Structure 1
Amino acid sequence: MKSKVPFTELQARMKRFRDKMKVSNPDWEIAVVINKINLYYFTGTMQDGLLMIPRGDEAIFWVRRSYERALEESFFPNIKPMNTYSDVAASFKEFPKVLYMETESVPLALYQRLQKYFSFTVGHAVDAQIAAIRAIKSPYELSLMEQSGKIHQRVMEDDVPKLLKEGISEARLATEVFSLLVEEGHHGVTRLRGFDTEMALGYTAFGESSLYPTCFYGPAGSYGISWAVPTMGSRERKLKKGDLVYMDLGCGVGGYHTDKTMTYMFGESLPEKAISIHNQCVEIQYQIADMLKPGAVPATIYDTIMNSLSHAFRENFMGFGKRAIPFLGHAIGLWTDELPIIAKGFSEPLKEGMVFAIEPKKGIEDIGVVGIENTFVVTPQGGRSITGDHPGLLPVY
């Protein structure tokens, strides 16, 4: 995917940011964007640099490396080269005392470096404002996510069953699926908002390995490649008859992600109890999707669903044992795990064009994690899935 982000798209994003700042921080004077994902959002190119956004003047993208690539890739109107921050500081006669920045991703050493060159007194967070404008996807952004969703659906529903063979390892299956996704158009990485969190593709797990504890903030786990790389899947765990196959994978096109989980029954059917639990998770997904309408409140959706579940079903729901996570889904876009979240505490009403990955899942001892995940666009009619509608537990006999 090598088409430039349209100039009109970049203009609209900057305007929305400025409008948001006027409402949330009426006295703001200047903001800096450093995180590469946010830089891509505002400029259409992912380079090493600083995007300086003065309140009363045009924004300038100062690029250390690669200035040439930035000019080639971006329609952003003001791109200038820099060697050090002193080049940027010299462009200001007087710098404001307050600098708004991404406090979630700016480390202390970088903060101190910025303070050295720009002599501001205090740094204030701008993360929430950027997250809020990124949460509503434009038609351009949705078109990329829809392309990703079609790839996701095709590979996970049509191609994966052909790869399930007795004796294949989790890691081998994951790499074969990764190769297929890239061949189909996947941009090749799964990006995450969480600090110091990395993931190449997602989680592939056979049977009980999906119940294994993980540092990743999700309802399932995996042994992973090793203790040092606890993702993808294990080289040692091989597929055998009767296994539940769990695949929670990211896909993306042009920087924009979709999220999808598919489950498969290999060799023989799972016990009826497990199938029944899985089907209830699928029904919960449909219930949440029906509520994904403009004006709906994420916290209310969460409470409505959780209050409808029996005490017995809530045990091991959204995580096995004591590892349950307190959400039912999350926004998605340039990061796989964006804000807002379908959880308590998120009281801002949904808006048309937001996109959510909805993932009701439940762990079953000695069997693994059942359930489902698809990516939905918020519309007046409810959530519209862009990753397919297969209920999962696809039999491969």
Structure 2
Amino acid sequence: MSWKHPVPPISDDERRGRLKRLQERLSEQNIQGLLLGSTESLRYFTGLVWQASERLVGALVTPDAVTYVVPGFEQSRVESLRHLPGEIVVWQEDQSSAELVARLMPQGGKLGLDDALPLFVYHQLAHVFGADRLVDGGPFIRGLRLRKSQNEIALIKYAMGLTLEVHRRAHAMIKPGVKSSEVVRFIDEQHRALGASGSSFCIVSFGVATSLPHGADGDQTYQPGDVVLVDTGCRLDGYHSDLTRTYVMEEPTPEFAAAWAIEREAQQAVFDAAQLGATCGSLDDAARAVLARHGLGPDYAVPGLPHRAGHGLGMEIHEEPYIVRGNQTVLQPGMCFSNEPMIVYPNRFGIRLEDHIYMSAEGPRWFTEPAKGPTEPFA
């Protein structure tokens, strides 16, 4: 694998450590095996990257081994890809992958399932095993993925830095008459220029379209005075960046300047509340308390914050821990999540300032410094 970045990719030693911890948890819970599908968890534990399809490609993890389950015609392809060592067993097109998994399991043993497996795989397994032998493997998997290592945090931080620089370049190229599609294409090119494999996603909205949290259909053209919202990210060794900036290019109206200040205040309140031992739900509460003091909301009503205040980030762009009302998950070192208490003013504009936080042993740390002002999107 060609690697040209100053931070190291995830090593096989780190993956072996992850796998060992997973196997220990299976033994503790008397679960005889856990089936990983073609998901981010397969990559997390084994290093194997595979696009999901109607055919099962995965890995059966038992307390003392890893066995890859692969269609026969894909065996040579899997052998050529990076992955931790393990036996590869195959099933042919006229055979059942579920029956193969059953033969690899001890008689009567319980099988944990990757919580991102497709429903059709579950139904096939339930038919062969019986539903009572199938166990939700999500708690085992998510519990391990929830707290990032220093290497994972370094990868995310570096990816965030790439995307922040792309934001700077995009801000500099936005001029009257430019189309949102042109900005999207430019952002992808700049991510590639900085060593990422392009944008993993990109939302560029102008004017009223900024009031739609995930953007409007169709192309838009920037006009002087429009509010600009740019939300984009890339991936580095599977780990995501994700940053949003909202600003105006000219002197802001008093209404926009005031709204922008409230958004930044709410974002800072989330950061200040993000202390070790606090619950994820309390961070969402902190953001809504700021909005309520300014007459916004309440709850999910708009003008106000119509969604959760943040989401976890790692190998999936949205993963645990979710910064949402009522979530009793306690913040611990290694947790990483977004801070984006967007304010929506329907049919007028929206403001989302999105930076991410990682929890250090001393408390919250920014991956990127927040925006400075309504016309100054960078610190």
Asked if these proteins are the same fold (TM beyond 0.5), I'd say yes
Q: Distance in 2 between matches of 1:42 and 1:311?
A: 45
CA contact (8 A) 2:199 2:232 kept: no
Cα distance change on mapping 1:66 and 1:182 into 2, 3 Å = farther
Q: Distance in 1 between matches of 2:121 and 2:15?
A: 26
Q: 244, 254, 258: which one pairs with 1:276?
A: 258
Is 1:285 the equivalent of 2:295?
Answer: no
Q: Percent identity?
A: 20
Matched AA of 1:74: R
Cα distance change on mapping 1:45 and 1:93 into 2, 3 Å = closer
- Residue 298 of structure 1, CA deviation: 0.8
In the TM superposition, 1:275-354 aligns within 5 A as 275-310=257-292, 312-315=294-297, 320=302, 324-325=306-307, 327-354=308-335
User: Could you tell which deviates more after superposition, 10-19 or 303-312?
Assistant: 303-312
- Residue 337 of structure 1, CA deviation: 0.6
Once the two structures are superposed, what CA deviation does each residue of 1:189-216 show, in whole Å capped at 9, x if it has no partner? 53xxxxxxxxxx132110101224xxxx
Question: Could you tell me which residue of structure 2 aligns to residue 216 of structure 1?
Answer: none
Q: Distance in 2 between matches of 1:367 and 1:391?
A: 22
CA contact (8 A) 2:297 2:305 kept: no
Is 1:102 the equivalent of 2:109?
Answer: no
Cα distance change on mapping 1:30 and 1:239 into 2, 3 Å = same
In the TM superposition, 1:145-160 aligns within 5 A as 145-156=156-167, 158-160=168-170
Q: 28, 31, 35: which one pairs with 2:31?
A: 28
User: Unpaired runs of 5+ in structure 2?
Assistant: 4-8, 51-55
Matched AA of 1:289: F
Q: Secondary structure at the match of 1:204?
A: strand
Q: Distance in 1 between matches of 2:13 and 2:228?
A: 44
Is 1:134 the equivalent of 2:145?
Answer: yes
Q: 14, 34, 38: which one pairs with 1:9?
A: 14
Q: Distance in 2 between matches of 1:2 and 1:116?
A: 43
Question: Could you tell me which residue of structure 1 aligns to residue 233 of structure 2?
Answer: 250
Q: Distance in 2 between matches of 1:5 and 1:112?
A: 34
- Residue 37 of structure 1, CA deviation: 1.1
User: Could you tell which deviates more after superposition, 292-301 or 254-263?
Assistant: 292-301
- Residue 263 of structure 1, CA deviation: 1.6
In the TM superposition, 1:35-54 aligns within 5 A as 35-47=38-50, 49-54=57-62
Once the two structures are superposed, what CA deviation does each residue of 1:49-94 show, in whole Å capped at 9, x if it has no partner? 2211223x21222333754454444351214141342784485374
Is 1:111 the equivalent of 2:87?
Answer: no
User: Unpaired runs of 5+ in structure 1?
Assistant: 191-200, 213-219, 225-233
Is 1:78 the equivalent of 2:86?
Answer: yes
Cα distance change on mapping 1:298 and 1:379 into 2, 3 Å = same
Q: 162, 174, 179: which one pairs with 2:172?
A: 162
CA contact (8 A) 2:291 2:304 kept: no
Question: Could you tell me which residue of structure 2 aligns to residue 227 of structure 1?
Answer: none
Matched AA of 1:208: V
Q: Secondary structure at the match of 2:170?
A: helix
Q: Distance in 1 between matches of 2:227 and 2:43?
A: 39
Q: Secondary structure at the match of 1:77?
A: coil
Is 1:60 the equivalent of 2:67?
Answer: yes
Is 1:179 the equivalent of 2:189?
Answer: yes
Once the two structures are superposed, what CA deviation does each residue of 1:18-55 show, in whole Å capped at 9, x if it has no partner? 344456xx232221111421111111121362211223
Q: 341, 354, 359: which one pairs with 1:360?
A: 341
CA contact (8 A) 1:63 1:80 kept: yes
CA contact (8 A) 1:31 1:99 kept: yes
CA contact (8 A) 1:294 1:351 kept: yes
Is 1:209 the equivalent of 2:209?
Answer: yes
CA contact (8 A) 1:295 1:349 kept: yes
Q: Secondary structure at the match of 2:165?
A: helix
Question: Could you tell me which residue of structure 1 aligns to residue 53 of structure 2?
Answer: none
TM-score, with structure 2 as normaliser: 0.85
CA contact (8 A) 1:316 1:362 kept: no
Question: Could you tell me which residue of structure 1 aligns to residue 215 of structure 2?
Answer: 222
Q: Secondary structure at the match of 2:242?
A: strand
User: Could you tell which deviates more after superposition, 290-299 or 202-211?
Assistant: 290-299
User: Could you tell which deviates more after superposition, 143-152 or 97-106?
Assistant: 97-106
Q: Secondary structure at the match of 2:306?
A: coil
TM-score, with structure 1 as normaliser: 0.81
Q: Secondary structure at the match of 2:369?
A: coil
- Residue 252 of structure 1, CA deviation: 1.9
Q: Distance in 1 between matches of 2:105 and 2:309?
A: 49
Once the two structures are superposed, what CA deviation does each residue of 1:199-243 show, in whole Å capped at 9, x if it has no partner? xx132110101224xxxxxxx13222xxxxxxxxx32x2110100
Q: Distance in 1 between matches of 2:198 and 2:130?
A: 40
